[in-house]
Every structure is written in C-alpha cells, then in structure tokens.
Amino acid sequence: MFKNLKKFEVNRLEILGLKGNYDKKLMPKLSNKDIKKLYEAMILTRIFDRKALNLQRQGRLGTYASMDGQEASIIGSAYALKKEDWLFPSFRENGALILRGQPMNELFMYWGGDERGMNIPKNVNNFPISIPVGTQILHAVGVAMAAKIKKHKICSLVYFGDGATSEGDFHEGLNMAGVYKAPVVFICQNNQWAISVPREKQTASETLAQKAIAYGFNGIQVDGNDILAVYKATKDALDNARKGKGPTLIECHTYRINDHTTSDDAKKYRDVKEVEEWKKKDPIVKLWNFMKKKKLWTRKYETKLIAKLTKNVEDAVKKAESMPKPKVDDMFKFVYKNMTERQKKELSEING
C-alpha cells in the first residue's frame, strides 16, 4: 500500500495589476510616504543603471551587470530590512546597496575597477559584492546562525539568481538554514536567464520557490515586478524569522531586460520578442499607475524628482572620477591585518 505522507503546494503572490489596480486584502502596511520612497528608490536605481551603462560604453567603467527590469525585486526586498539587519548581495543589486546607505560614488568606483569603492561604511551592514555565483548564500546563513546564538534579533537577507540555485552552495546553505532555523531570507531573483541558459534548462523544478519545501521551510513565488508583493513577502519572511520561525525562500519572478553584462550579447541566444513582452510589465510603470490612481503622483513631482536624482547620480560620478588613482600600496594593505615581511619587501621594491 502507498500512504500519502505529504502534499505540497506552491503559491504565487501578486498584489499590483498593470493598470494601478491592486488586491486590497493583501496590501501591506505602507504609508504614502513609504510608497513614494519605494518609487524614488526604483527611479534612482534605474538612473544609476543607465548612467553606468553609458559610462561603460565610453570606457569609463569596466564590465557592468544591469539591473533594468529588476528594480522591484531589488528595492522591495531591501526596503523591508531593518538598518541592523545584514544584506548579502550578488552583483546585480546596486539599488539595494544604495538604499541601505552605500555611497553611489563608491559604487561607481568599484565598477570602474577601483577597490576603494568597496569601502562600505561601518554603520552599513552590507557585505561586499560577491562575483562567484551562489557562494554568498552560506555567509548569510552563517551570520543568521551567529545572530541566533548571540540572541540578537537580527536577520540576514541574501540575493542570488536563478542560475545560482544549481550550485552546491545553494543546497548547503538552504539545508543548514533549515536545520538551524536560521533567521535568513533568501531572495532568488529569477530573471529567467543565467547568461545564455534559460530557466527551463537550469532546473527541472517547475518553480524555484518549491525547492524550499525539501529543506523544510516556506518557499513562495512573487511577481518580481510588483514591488508591493516583493515587499510584503520579504516583510512577512523577516517577521517570521525574527519570531524564531526560521528561513524563507522568495522567488522573485522577474526578467533581465538587458544583456547579462556589458560583455554579453543576448541577441545571440534569446528572442527580442520575449524582451518586448516583459517590458510591458515594467516594475516602475506598475507602481506609477498605482500612485496615479492613489493621487500620489503629479507631473511636477516627477519632474523635480528626476532632476534631483539625476543630479545626485551625476555628482556621484564626478566625485568618483575626481578621485586620484589608488596608490600601489592599496593592493598590499588589506591582504592581512599586518603585511608580511615578504610583502613589505615587494612594496618597497615597487616604490623603489
């Protein structure tokens, strides 16, 4: 005989429609001021992104990974964090880093190949950008475990892509988080592509959210272009984590509008029609329609906002580019607490 041991379901959360309509029952507690802040952070993210792409084309930045289309996933999740929580980025979340207080000029420096750009302010609990896919998941789990051991009411939140779910570190991280009921939130930005590999070829799972089930905790898919849904899912997950209920995996179902990075050419492997379809679901336009309906938006507000944010971004670029080149000792200074005798010798050799 077969006895049914478990039945599973996977849910998707959507709050905002395309025309500003929304699900009142699911509306998270957000003041008008909050809504505006979310909107402004998304706009800033896009302006930053456009600028970075532009600078890259002019040879003023190195390889850069665009956030276009993923602003709601990036901002909605980060906005739910408390200041004292920890954030672990991959390489596609500049908007979240800025929202949490990392100076934009430093991010431009970083993408320009200047390590001083990862000099994260002491009061900002952001971990440095992690390039090796999926590896940062474990660090976030570790911080959450430590916070739990120390009885601090702190959570950690980690970003990674759909591709990252194929790495061994993803499995190990989620498994350990489940075992220790670590207060961590996993934000999987499923932007449908890992460079040229589409989501369907990444895993035979129908959703990425359902992977959480195997680790013994909740997984949910959200409309990743719906900032209210992303915010609500993250806020609920953080609240649960703080109450000792353990981790949550949130799959933000979204789309990478641009090439993988500036070194990539997506035309080689994907249909532009697909991109056009997703552009119709632009996360910023979605919230904009909502705000218009709620009378939270006027043309004057928009004009002023864009002018202000554009200036902030331009100022940040100026500041970044006016920095003198790093000194050569910069590459020796942080390898160890104290330079080894050998490093000292090498450095003095360079300095002649």
Partner 1 sequence: MAKLNLVEAINLGLKQEMKRDKNVIILGEDVGKDGGVFRVTDGLQKIFGEKRVFDTPLCESGIVGTSIGMAVYGLRPVCEIQFEGFIMPAFDQIITHLARIRNRSRGRFNVPLVIRCPHGGGIRALEHHSDCPEVLFSHIPGLKVVIPSTPYDAKGLLASAIMDEDPVIFFEPKKIYRSIKEEVPEKEYTIPIGKAKILQKGNDITIISYGAIIHKVKEACDKINDISCEIIDLRTLSPLDEETIIESVKKTGRVLIVHEAPKMFGVGAEISALINENVLTSLEAPIERVTGFDVVVPLPKLEDYHIPSIGRIINGIKKVINFS
For ligand TPP, the binding residues (CB under 6 A) are: 92, 131-133, 160-164, 189, 191, 193-195, 256, 260
Asked if 74 contacts 89 with a C-beta cutoff of 8 angstroms, the reply is no
The minimum distance between CB 47 and ligand TPP, in angstroms, equals 20
Q: Residue 61 has what DSSP assignment?
A: S
Residue 301 β-bridge partners: none
Residue corresponding to tokens 């000194």: 327
Q: Give the x/- contact pattern for Mg ion in 118-157, rule: CB under 5 A.
A: ----------------------------------------
Number of residues this chain uses to bind partner 1 (CB under 8 A): 42
Integer Cα distance of 109 and 94 in angstroms: 12
> At what angle are helices 71-79 and 32-57 packed, to 10 degrees?
130
Q: At what angle do helices 32-57 and 227-242 cross, to 10 degrees?
A: 110
Task: Kindly state whether residue 112 participates in binding partner 1, applying the rule CB under 8 A.
Answer: yes
- 139 labelled catalytic: no
Q: Write down the H helix ranges in the chain.
A: 32-57, 71-79, 94-99, 104-111, 136-149, 168-179, 199-202, 211-215, 227-242, 272-279, 283-293, 299-321, 330-333, 341-351
Q: Which of 256, 270, 299, 342 is catalytic?
A: 256
194 binds Mg ion (CB under 5 A): yes
Q: By the 8 A CB rule, do 283 and 69 touch? A: yes
Residue 163 C-beta: closest distance to ligand TPP, Å: 3
Among 34, 54, 269, 304, binds partner 1 (CB under 8 A): 269
Nearer to ligand TPP, 121 or 132 (CB): 132
Residue from 64, 260, 270, 336 carrying the catalytic annotation: 260
Type and span of the H or E element at 186: strand 184-190
Is 152 marked active-site?
Answer: no
Binding mask 136-175 for partner 1 (x = CB under 8 A): ---------------------------xx-xxxx------
Q: Using CB under 8 A as the criterion, which residues of the chain lie in contact with partner 1 when the complex forms? A: 62-63, 91, 110, 112-115, 131-135, 163-164, 166-169, 194-197, 201-203, 263-264, 268-269, 325-326, 328, 330-332, 335, 340, 342-343, 346, 350
Residues labelled as active-site residues: 256, 260, 269
